[in-house]
Structures are given as structure tokens and as C-alpha cells.
Amino acid sequence: MVTGNGLRSRLYEGAVMHNRLRPVRHRFRYRVFSVLLDLDELPEIARTSRLLRIERPGILSFRAVDHGARDGSPLGPWARAHFAACGIADVARVELLCFPRLWGFVFNPLSVYFAYDAEDQLAGVLYEVKNTFGGQHAYVLPADRGADGRIRHGVDKSFYVSPFIDMAASYHFTLGPPTESLELVIRETDRDGIFFTASQTGARRELTDRNLAACLLRNLAMTFKVIGGIHVEALRLWLKGAPYHPKTAGPVDG
């Protein structure tokens, strides 16, 4: 999808929601905005955007070191290598959905890479999951659509995320290729069924300095809300008596 400014890259402004069903009930929701960046367009964005700084400090910025190999190396080759390792070799371009840095800081619990083939059809999805302990893991899956056009993935959990969620669980992702809107739903299950649901929704905006400024003004403390919210909600879960699961060995990169 090429927008009016000639870029495929764009913004999505909306909300994140978490809903825990058991063993204690707990729900919260907060406003966010994300950038969906065509990785091949990063040089053009760096040249034309005065507000979204690429590999440079700024109020809003994007840095490769926050993703992929975490060493600042280009993300396109990293993503293509992961897709190829899972049998998704015909990748013409890659888009990355993530939170940008605000005031120099960012934490992305989940970033999503979309791989498109030479016919510009979605071929694969990479879910890049991070925890607050500095770890990261990639789940890579083919983009097989159902009759309703949505993509559904199921994968066993193999990476420690929360001290209040056991490792004996599975993820079930439901999403559509982000176009006019963004809708990503994650359901986590154990042997007794669904116990946790998270979602991110958003409406598309063109990636312009004006729209970036508007999103920024409406979400001035987004990064701190994401990071702080994780710890505040963990405290609330602890006070509600949710079982605690100590950190175990697992992937630290991916």
C-alpha cells in the first residue's frame, strides 16, 4: 500500500488492551501509536522527515539497535535470514510494526515483521517478543490466510515473558495485513483453555511530520506508560494473589 506521500511506511494510532481471565481477573487498556516502516524506505524517511529521526537522536526516532540482532546492523538482512530459515525465501520487501523511541527511550513488548513476496503478497510474519529482562525471541510463521482473509498462527510458548504467566502455554495470533486499520489479537492458552488475551488496534495515518506531531502530542508519555504500566500492572497482579513463576533459562536473542 503506497500512501499519498509516496511511501508505503505509515502510522497506526489506537490502543493496546490486556485482559487476564484467570486465576485472577485483571484488565487494562491504554492509547498508543506505532510506526509501520518499510525497511527499504528508511533512507528516504531519514532524508524527508524532520520529526522522525532515523539513527539520530530526536524527540521521535527509530534505531536498528532496538530490534533484530540488537547490534545496530541493518534489519532487512536479519529478517530475511530468519524468514529463509523457516522456508520463506521469496521475500522482496519487509515492513516492521513497532513503537518509535520517544525522548530517546522505547520498549517494544512485541514488534511484528511482515514479509512480502515479488507479487507484493504477504508471505510470512515474524513476531519479535521482548521481556523486561533484556531477552528477545522470534517466532516466524507463514502467512496462510483463512476464508475471512485473516491470518491465524498457533505456537507453543518458548520464551519467558512475565513472572505471572507459566511457560506451559501456547500463543494464538490473529491478524490481517495492516491496511486502513490494524488489528492484532493474541490469545494465550493452557490445558484448561484461554486465560489471557491481548490486542493492539489502530487507524492508519500517513507518515508525515504533521501526523507524527499530532500523535506525539496525544501520547507524550507513551514509552513511560508502556514501561511503567508493565510494572504497575505486575504489582496489581501480585496484590490480587496471582501465582508467581520464577524466570527460567530460555532464548535471549532470536
- Segment 52-62, tens digit of pLDDT: 999 999 999 99
Using an 8 Å Cβ cutoff, are 2 and 8 in contact?
A: yes
Domain chopping of the chain, boundaries:
10-240
pLDDT range class, residue 189, cuts 50, 70, 90: very high
Predicted local confidence at residue 251, as pLDDT: 45
Q: What is the pLDDT of residues 62-119, one digit of tens each?
A: 999 999 999 999 999 999 999 999 999 989 999 999 999 999 999 899 999 999 999 9
Residue tagged 527509530 (cell numbers): 62
Q: Which residues pair with 202 in a beta bridge?
A: 14, 182
pLDDT range class, residue 220, cuts 50, 70, 90: confident
Report CA-CA distances (Å) from 216 to 31, 100, 201, 212, 222: 11, 10, 17, 6, 9
Query: Mean pLDDT in the chain?
Result: 88
Largest CA distance in the chain: 52
Predicted local confidence at residue 236, as pLDDT: 66
Q: Could you tell me which residues come within 8 angstroms of residue 20 by beta carbon, excluding any fewer than 6 positions away? A: 26, 27, 195, 196, 237, 242
Predicted local confidence at residue 200, as pLDDT: 96
Residue tagged 501456547 (cell numbers): 170
The percent of residues above 70 in pLDDT, for the chain, comes to: 85
pLDDT tops 70 at residue 23: yes
Using an 8 Å Cβ cutoff, are 251 and 131 in contact?
A: no
**Alpha carbons 64 and 181: distance in angstroms, whole number:** 25
Q: What share of the chain is helix, strand, coil (3-state, %, to 5)?
A: 20, 40, 40
pTM: 0.90
**Alpha carbons 177 and 235: distance in angstroms, whole number:** 35
Phi, psi for residue 98 in degrees, rounded to 5: -160, 165
Ranked by mean pLDDT, the top range of 23-27, 131-135, 159-163 is 131-135
The mean pLDDT of 178-201, rounded to a whole number, is 94
Predicted local confidence at residue 1, as pLDDT: 59
The mean pLDDT of 158-175, rounded to a whole number, is 86
Q: Is 189 helix (H, G, I), strand (E, B) or coil?
A: strand
What one-letter code names the amino acid at 126? L
Q: What is the pLDDT of residues 234-249, one digit of tens each?
A: 666 556 776 666 775 4
Using an 8 Å Cβ cutoff, are 92 and 120 in contact?
A: yes
Q: Cα dihedral angle (129, 86, 42, 122), rounded to 10 degrees?
A: -100
